[in-house]
Amino acid sequence: MKIATYQKHVLNFKQPSRTSRGVLKSKETWFIIVTLNGKQGIGECGMFKGLSIDDRPDFEEKLRWTCAHINFELKDLLHELTEFPSIQFGLEMAFKSLESKNQFELFPSEFTKGAKSILINGLIWMGSEDFMRQQIKDKIESGFKCIKMKIGTINFESELEILKSIRKEFSSNDIELRVDANGAFSSTDALEKLKRLSDLDIHSIEQPIKQGQINEMAKLCESTPLPIALDEELIGVFSKEQKEELLKTIKPQFIILKPTLVGGFQGSDDWIEIAENNEIGWWITSALESNIGLNSIAQYTFTKHSLMPQGLGTGSLFTNNFESPLLVKNGALHYNINNSWNFNL
């Protein structure tokens, strides 16, 4: 008989990180630990306050319920947890961890053998112009070929100037530029801003306007000079039918999958299948999980054989993350088999 417990953990940022939703100094996360015959499986429920659909008062109550019913069939548990995608993901992770020879090697591959790596983007956090410029310089010097810059907090003209300065020195063949507006543009001025960004050979823009404006986003995707990637728009869309309807209505150029926010491996698989059937591109990113969640996302991502840079470079953001084999080097995420895990809560 399986026994399950959960435990909360607070990750502390090395420095406050600003997004269009505010400044992040810490990030709460929860771990489900499932034990069977002396063997342990670990999963992370990285619910993101202010963003996750399961940021609700009964979240921990649902975690307790999940642990109490851990001996139900996994598919039945996942169905019961439809409105709690981060718990779905933690549960999938914990079961896969329990079944694996090595509790941290969920998807054995050339990646977990240390033979191959995953291309990732270098993330540029919002801040003063000088701070953003310094981050960009550091990322390029450390070997990143794809830079993702969060925009929408400082003056748009200043953000354009930063992007222009990169393009003066590096062409789109040298550095791929992505921008993430986190819904910061209004539906009335978004198209004009996209036109100005498109002059700079930007690869794509994530979520230019706030989620939930389906018709406005569809019009934007139809007339945009710059590929649009849906991100927050996917949150809270549960059934396969709803997912298909959303993508067929908006017709984005890309979607971005955060397994913690969209229901884990199964939820991500559904989105990928629908996107590919509709000739929509995709990539996968983390949602500020600890190295436990990031590890499972990275291993899963590798099995999808995407050649695009992924958003998996968040492991070094925290002062109290768990030691792991994950290593960012030359713009790629590696699995250093000489480094061991240290999971102490």
CA 295/CA 90 separation, integer angstroms: 12
Nearest CA to 326 among 114, 73, 34, 172?
A: 114
126/84: higher pLDDT: 84
**Residue pLDDT, tens place only, 234-263:** 999 999 999 999 999 999 999 999 999 999
3.30.390.10, 1.10.10.60, 3.20.20.70, 3.30.750.210: CATH of 3-99: 3.30.390.10
Q: Residue 95's pLDDT is what?
A: 98
| Rounded-to-integer distance, Cα 297 and Cα 283, Å | 12
Q: What superfamily in CATH does domain 118-335 come from?
A: Enolase-like C-terminal domain (3.20.20.120)
Question: Does residue 21 register a pLDDT over 70?
Answer: no
Share the mean pLDDT of the chain.
95
Report the half-sphere exposure of 332 (CA within 13 A, side-chain side). Answer: 14
Would the CATH topology of 3-99 be identical to that of 118-335? Answer: no
Closest CA to 283 of 51, 89, 121: 121
For 167-207, the pLDDT digits (tens) are: 998 999 999 999 999 899 999 999 999 999 999 999 999 99
Domain borders along the chain are 3-99, 118-335
33 is written with which tokens?
A: 């630990």
Catalytically annotated residues: 150, 258
Q: Are 3 and 70 contacting, i.e. CB atoms less than 8 angstroms apart? A: yes
| Confidence at 345, pLDDT banded by 50, 70, 90 | confident
pLDDT at position 154 over 90: no
Res 309: pLDDT: 98
Arithmetic mean of pLDDT, 97-111? 97
User: Is the confidence at residue 338, as pLDDT, over 90?
Assistant: yes
pLDDT in tens, 256-292: 999 999 999 999 999 999 999 999 999 999 999 999 9
Greatest alpha-carbon pair distance for the chain in Å reads 62
What does pTM read for this prediction? Answer: 0.96
* 20: confidence class by pLDDT, cuts 50, 70, 90: low
Angle between helices 85-99 and 264-277 (to 10 degrees): 110
